[in-house]
Amino acid sequence: MPRYAAFWENRHSSTDPHMETAETKQLNLNAIGRAEPSQTATPATVAPQNKVLQGSVRVLIQFDVCEEVKLDSLREIFGAKRQEASFKHPAPGYVKFQRAPVVESSDPLVLESGERLNVQIKYYDYGVVSVVFELPFSGDWDRLVRLAGRWVWDTDFTSFAQKIVKQKIDRARPALVKLYESWLHEDYFVFHVRDISGNPSATELLASHGGRIAQIVRGESSPLSEGEQQEIMQSKISYYPNDLAVISWNGAFLYDTEAGAETVIQLLEYANSQLLEFRHYDELLTRELQSVYDFMDQGSMGIMARWRTAKRASRLHTVLLDVDELTERADNAIKFLSDMFAARLYKVAASKIGVTDYKDLVNQKVHTAEELYRFMIDQFHQSRAFVLELMVVIILIIDLIWLFKGRVPV
């Protein structure tokens, strides 16, 4: 499914998925906190050679469905739970989502190949709905590389997620404010490996399998060039010696415990939801600016036409206020006041995913719209001043006419 961005090209097609059935247990999606890395090496006999990796693959599909979700009302409708943010260290209560998303489990998705994917749905207060598909994974590096290539490029998870969201939206409609007719969407892939045979450190893992990790996050079945690998590895980040996160624009590779990976996954979801919101604001401002330009081109510079400029400028200003309010809500949805690692990880994710780029675009268009608004108001004031001056001149002329005729005007 193509990722709607000016910076990247299409990523997906819509062929049917096909892969082997996974054999490992399901990951706990609600793990909170951060476990210390294990210092005991895993014996080679515990993980057979064809099962050197244990973990899961998660597909995050997000839709921008409305302007706002009333989370309290939604919780009453679905009976869903609230999700709090998890962090590297136990954090005080104020380090959390400003308004925690509502989380709901859904029926598993069974693909034609027989794979059974766990499904979880999250509702954010700024109008984003996130669908998370999860498949436990067990196998070797070659199998994970093939799975990544097949799922990133050849499986249309967006259509599956869209069907689920449409069903949920019908029930959730009373809690949604200004439901959109068409939905922007984003997708992201997270390849989480919690156990590797031999329990290597992050440094050892990069030295021995850095090339394959680069393939996985890109969804490529063929080896990448050394330059491309280096570019991908610029976004690697670790806290303990035995954990690693490599973040790319369309996917991430995580080597961590279940609890540790949950922290990263939540931040990746949040960053992608921000990208979705800034894309929405970018398109909204683009349409509004084009509408104003068309209005200005259609004779709005005439004396009488400028009186309509005030109404058009007022509408533009209303859009700017809405964008400011919604942007602030999405931008401040989560706080990192006491966890600098989480803040640093989010900064890396936001930069790679494209949040920073789109935020800059939105800020530029907001600045342009503000300048245009001031120009339109100035034009209106000039027109009003001209009309008032014209009225004064007309009154003076009338007075002079009556004076020359020897009659005093009433």
Average the pLDDT over 336-346 and give the result: 77
Query: Which is more confidently placed, 27 or 116?
Result: 116
Are residues 218 and 210 in contact, defined by beta-carbon separation less than 8 angstroms?
Answer: no
- The answer to whether residue 24 sits within a structural domain is no
Residue-wise pLDDT for 369-380, tens only, equals 888 888 877 777
* Domain final residue pick, 258, 291, 320: 258
Q: How does the average pLDDT of the chain come out, rounded?
A: 79
Are residues 161 and 131 in contact, defined by beta-carbon separation less than 8 angstroms?
Answer: yes
Q: What percent of the chain has pLDDT over 90?
A: 44
| Cα 137 to Cα 147: distance, rounded to the nearest angstrom | 10
Whether residue 248 sits in one domain with residue 279: no
Whether residue 145 sits in one domain with residue 62: yes
Element holding 347 (H helix, E strand): helix 340-353
- The answer to whether residue 16 sits within a structural domain is no
Confidence of residue 199 (pLDDT cuts 50, 70, 90): very high
Whether residue 291 sits in one domain with residue 364: yes
Strand 102-110 and strand 244-247: pairing? unpaired
Could you tell me how many helices (H) and strands (E) the chain has, helices first? Answer: 9, 9
Range of the domain at 140: 49-258
Based on the structure, what is the number of domains in the chain?
A: 2
Confidence of residue 113 (pLDDT cuts 50, 70, 90): confident
Query: Which is more confidently placed, 83 or 256?
Result: 256
Residue-wise pLDDT for 242-253, tens only, equals 999 999 999 999
- Among 349, 144, 338, 340, CA closest to 245: 349
Residue-wise pLDDT for 313-335, tens only, equals 877 878 888 887 777 776 666 66
Range of 323-327, 352-356, 397-401 with top mean pLDDT? 352-356
| Cα 116 to Cα 113: distance, rounded to the nearest angstrom | 9
* Domain final residue pick, 258, 286, 302: 258
Are residues 1 and 187 in contact, defined by beta-carbon separation less than 8 angstroms?
Answer: yes
- The answer to whether residue 25 sits within a structural domain is no
> At residue 25, does pLDDT exceed 50?
no
- Among 240, 360, 258, CA closest to 54: 258
Tell me the pTM.
0.75
> At residue 81, does pLDDT exceed 70?
no
Provide the 10 A C-beta neighbour count for residue 224: 17
| pLDDT at residue 7 in the model | 36
Whether residue 208 sits in one domain with residue 76: yes
Lowest-confidence range among 93-102, 250-259, 263-272, 363-372?
93-102
* Domain final residue pick, 231, 258, 285: 258
Range of 14-18, 158-162, 379-383 with top mean pLDDT? 158-162
Residue-wise pLDDT for 133-162, tens only, equals 999 999 999 999 999 998 888 888 999 999
- The answer to whether residue 266 sits within a structural domain is no
Query: Which is more confidently placed, 49 or 277?
Result: 277
Whether residue 284 sits in one domain with residue 252: no
Lowest-confidence range among 7-11, 127-131, 337-341?
7-11
Whether residue 357 sits in one domain with residue 224: no
